[in-house]
Amino acid sequence: MQESNPRAAAVNALMRIESGVAISDALDQALKAYRLNNLDRGLATEITYGTVRMQKAIDFALDSISRIRIDSLEPRVRAILRTGAYQILYLSRVPVSAAVNEAVKLASAGKHRKAGGYVNAVLRNLARKSESIKYPDPESDPVRHVAVKHSHPEWIVKRWLHRYGLENTVRFCQINNTSPEIHVRVNTLITSPETLGAHFVEQGALAEKGRFAPDVLVLGRSFSPAADPWLDRGYYYVQNESSALVAHALAPQPGETVYDLCAAPGGKTTHLAQLMDNRGRIIAVDQTDEKVAMIEENAARLRISIIEPMVGDAAVLKLPPADRVLVDAPCSGLGVLRHRPDARWRRRERDILSLAELQRRILANAAAMVKPGGTLVYATCTTEPEENEDTVRWFLKRHPGFILSPLPQWFPPSQHVGMLSILPFIHGIDGFFICKLQNNQF
């Protein structure tokens, strides 16, 4: 067990992230290695997530004042500089002196002890010049200006500028650089939104109704479900409202047979079971034993008995036709960068086309599993048309027996029947795409 130090924990997490570990896993591993109280855990989490979100802007600022480029530094020194810079530039509640001094201590304690002097000089220089950082010109180079100032890859910014314009692209990036609200889906099998909401209020949390879904509550940003015993007792599931809309789109009925073909960790699967009043049959498919175990764990916690998890590849799996089929497809995840800020640095534009090919294989295979008159819902947590509208049009062209089917009237309004693109800067919830199809072959 390491000495309690939230900044050291954040540096530890950042080094793990740079080696390829997902941010949530990296932070979890780092927090376990240090003896942190709740306040320090919060600071370590803020520094880790904030530094990853603002990495491009931080590196631009550091490169503008340092004689050594940030990407050429030893990984630990780079992580220390980035965390110190994040506190100076974006964390106003932390005194500059504390950010600098703690970073110097961390640098001096490493194997590169001379790095302490370098870190001290760079961060103090950054603090003096932070107000005079000159970003790329917004008029002559809007892509690079937005990418640097709002810390997103240029290829993403270019796509969004083309589709949404400058103002909405900036808003989208700004939303991605904020801590997400905590949304929970009420387990209506054992409690009600009113009862659960009263419980959260007693715990000092904000508990407001979701913007659209009747079984979602918004808790704000400060409440920690991990410390709430009602989570372990199955009263709710932590799930963004956009994700919760997917099960409502499929609208399964008690007694039906339903397939969830990309089911782990089981959030949408268990929601389907709730809407079915835990009556009927749900086959929940994913590719590994580990993922299937996650589905089983969540089903047990939420006291659901109708889910039958199985290991399988949704692109080739064969099952008898069912009443309803859900394809919550693997995707680029560009709609949920608030929750997974490291994904913006891992993804490449070429990934979109390769993922679209996989999505089309899964969707085409799923079509054979839908009964005549049955329902097929296709969903992603991305905003990119190649993975969303283009894939649906491709599917409809090759499967003329399927037609677009209206989504619930209480959903956010959409320009296209049966297809909904949820955008954070318009709807205030995660970016998602939901399409409802009906097998019209009888």
DSSP 144-180: HHHHHHTT--HHHHHHHHHHHHHHHHHHHHHHHTSPP
What burial class does residue 134 get, using C-beta atoms within 10 Å of its C-beta: 0-12 exposed, 13-18 middle, 19+ buried?
exposed
The pTM of the full predicted model, rounded to 2 decimals, is 0.94
All structural domains of the chain, each given as residue ranges with its CATH number in brackets, are 6-132 (1.10.940.10), 142-176 (no CATH), 183-238 (3.30.70.1170), 241-439 (3.40.50.150)
Q: 407-421, pLDDT tens digit by residue?
A: 999 999 998 999 999
CB atoms within 10 A of CB 73: 20
* pLDDT, average across residues 153-179: 97
C-beta separation of 230 from 258 below 8 A: no
Averaged pLDDT of the chain: 95
Q: 16-65, pLDDT tens digit by residue?
A: 999 999 999 999 999 999 988 888 999 999 999 999 999 999 999 999 99
What confidence category does residue 223 fall into, taking pLDDT thresholds of 50, 70 and 90? confident
Tell whether the model's pLDDT for residue 1 goes beyond 60: no
210-238 b/e (C-beta count within 10 Å ≥ 16 → b): bebbebbbbbeeebebeebebbeebbbbe
| pLDDT given at position 206 | 86
Question: What's the angle, vertex CA 148, arms to CA 162 and CA 424, rounded to 5?
Answer: 55
Percent of the chain whose pLDDT exceeds 70? 98
Q: 266-276, pLDDT tens digit by residue?
A: 999 999 999 99
Examine the residue annotation and report whether 331 is marked as an active-site residue of this protein: no
Sequence-distant (6+) residues with CB within 8 A of 226 are none
Of 173, 262, 331, 381, which is the active-site residue? 381
| pLDDT given at position 37 | 86
* pLDDT, average across residues 176-198: 96
What confidence category does residue 3 fall into, taking pLDDT thresholds of 50, 70 and 90? low
| pLDDT given at position 417 | 94
Q: 94-135, pLDDT tens digit by residue?
A: 999 999 999 999 999 866 668 899 999 999 999 999 888 999
Considering only 191-195, 223-227, 289-293, which range has the smallest mean pLDDT? Answer: 223-227
| pLDDT given at position 114 | 80
What burial class does residue 244 get, using C-beta atoms within 10 Å of its C-beta: 0-12 exposed, 13-18 middle, 19+ buried?
buried
Q: 339-384, pLDDT tens digit by residue?
A: 999 999 999 999 999 999 999 999 999 999 999 999 999 999 999 9
| pLDDT given at position 221 | 82
Q: 395-407, pLDDT tens digit by residue?
A: 999 999 999 999 9
